[in-house]
Amino acid sequence: MIKDLLKETENHMKGAIEATKREFQSIRTSRANPNILEKVHVEYYGTPTPLNQLANISVPDARSLVIQPWDKSVLSVIEKAIQKADLGLNPVNDGTVIRLPIPQLTEERRKELVKVIKKEAEEKRVAIRNLRRDTNDKLKALEKDGKITEDENKKALDDVQKLTDRFITEVDKLLDMKEKEIMEV
């Protein structure tokens, strides 16, 4: 019973870490990374479709992306979707592919992005703490109902705290890595 509850809590906390990684990948740095286009959806035959399902996205060098759609008729629609996504990028459509030059980030923009990732990291820390609180409440209820002993409850609460500390440390590590990546010139 306690094991299952701890496993469930750990899985939810792992989910928060995965969400943090996905969010951080979609935040642009000075380096070309196809993940910045993750949230771009293109109207394709009336259906919003992820860009990576309509085209091959490659990284020819550190400062550009090339988007090569499988269906050339959607080039202009892809171009508009990228502009609408407000990524701060200007697509260049040459009729067969879309080139996406990645400009150097200004100091001001870097600081804005750091604020964004710090806010995101704090949201994930709060989510992890909320999971801890929910699990602790369930453990206390189990003890109150006589399903577990006071000693089992104390040990389980301690285990939940260790899990929480471990995952919050993981969020902090991800934040530090992304901050360094953003701030490097």
Please state the domain extents for the chain. Answer: 1-27+106-183, 34-101
Crossing angle of helices 150-183 and 2-25, in 10° steps, is 10
pTM of the entire predicted model: 0.71
Phi/psi of residue 146, nearest 5 degrees = 80, 15
Domain 1-27+106-183 bears CATH identifier 3.10.105.10? no
Would you give per-residue pLDDT tens digits along the chain (185 residues)?
889 999 999 999 999 999 999 888 877 666 777 888 888 888 888 888 888 888 999 988 878 899 999 888 888 888 888 888 877 788 998 888 999 888 777 888 888 889 989 999 999 999 999 999 999 999 999 999 999 999 999 999 999 999 999 999 999 999 999 998 888 76
67, 40 Cβ separation under 8 angstroms? no
The domains spanning 1-27+106-183 and 34-101 adopt the same CATH topology: no
Per DSSP bridges, beta strands 98-101 and 55-61 are unpaired
Q: Enter the CATH code of domain 34-101.
A: 3.30.1360.40
**Amino acid at the residue 72:** K
